[in-house]
């Protein structure tokens, strides 16, 4: 039986403490119906070995080693190998709250027709902590029509009546890691990260 959530983590030249914390916080999730796909993108340090070490301790972990091709293709590898009904992208120097997957799984069960579930995130630096917020409305379902309106606005510089009523969260949040995606939706629409992009690949994917 397929897991409910596949968590894809591209790994390349990450400090050991950050990588271990990322992996351990995923394994400590209160919701256990997950798989963790660690994509070692040809990291020249010990990151690949660290990933293999954890894979020996938990059968939910799969490690994929590939030559260095960039974060976009590393995530694409994760998409192609994911078995879960939903896909969640986590950067190797980030971490999830322990109940993150549980909350997302409940949302997926409640809103069965949704293709993307968005959530809030925090930036945490040595000197401060900053909440990253968006225009997202709590427990709000954005229709395909409102998304079409948003695209029309950005392509033509003109507002539609529906757009004025609905401020869509995706318009102000182009991060890939603050959303969970239905795997079927990504695959049926051929959605992948563009290769060769070193920064801001999130914007092009979203």
Assign residue 198 the CATH number of its domain: 3.90.550.10
Residues with Cβ within 8 Å of residue 3, at least 6 apart in sequence: 33, 34, 35, 60, 83, 84, 85
- pLDDT single digits (tens) 171-200: 445 678 889 999 999 999 888 877 765 544
Is 60 domain-assigned?
yes
- pLDDT single digits (tens) 131-186: 544 444 455 444 555 555 554 544 554 555 554 444 444 444 567 888 999 999 99
Is 129 domain-assigned?
no
- pLDDT single digits (tens) 62-83: 999 999 999 999 999 999 999 9
Reply yes or no on whether the pLDDT at 28 is more than 60.
yes
Give the integer Cα–Cα distance in Å for 180 and 118.
Answer: 6
- DSSP H/E element including 62: strand 61-66
Is 144 domain-assigned?
no
- Domain of residue 52 covers 5-111+179-205
Residue 204's pLDDT band (cuts 50, 70, 90): very low
Is 98 domain-assigned?
yes
Is 147 domain-assigned?
no
Tokens representing 68 are 């260095």
Total tally of structural domains belonging to the chain: 1
User: Which pTM does this prediction carry?
Assistant: 0.77
């Amino acid at each position: 039986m397929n897991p409910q959530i596949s968590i894809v983590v591209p790994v390349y030249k990450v400090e050991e403490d950050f990588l271990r914390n990322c992996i351990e916080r995923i394994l400590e999730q209160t919701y256990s119906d997950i798989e963790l796909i660690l994509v070692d993108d040809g990291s020249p340090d010990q990151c690949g070995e660290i990933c293999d070490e954890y894979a020996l301790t938990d059968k939910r972990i799969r490690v994929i080693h590939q030559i260095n091709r960039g974060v976009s293709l590393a995530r694409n590898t994760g998409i192609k190998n994911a078995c879960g009904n939903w896909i969640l992208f986590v950067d190797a120097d980030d971490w999830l709250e322990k109940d993150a997957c549980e909350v997302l799984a409940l949302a997926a069960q409640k809103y069965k027709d949704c293709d993307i579930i968005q959530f809030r995130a925090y930036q945490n630096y040595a000197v401060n902590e900053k909440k990253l917020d968006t225009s997202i409305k709590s427990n709000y379902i954005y229709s395909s029509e409102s998304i079409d309106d948003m695209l029309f606005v950005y392509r033509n510089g003109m507002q539609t009546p529906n757009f004025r009523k609905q401020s869509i969260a995706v318009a102000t949040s182009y991060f890939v890691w603050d959303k969970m995606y239905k795997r079927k939706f990504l695959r049926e629409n051929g959605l992948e990260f563009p290769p060769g992009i070193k920064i801001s690949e999130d914007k092009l994917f979203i």
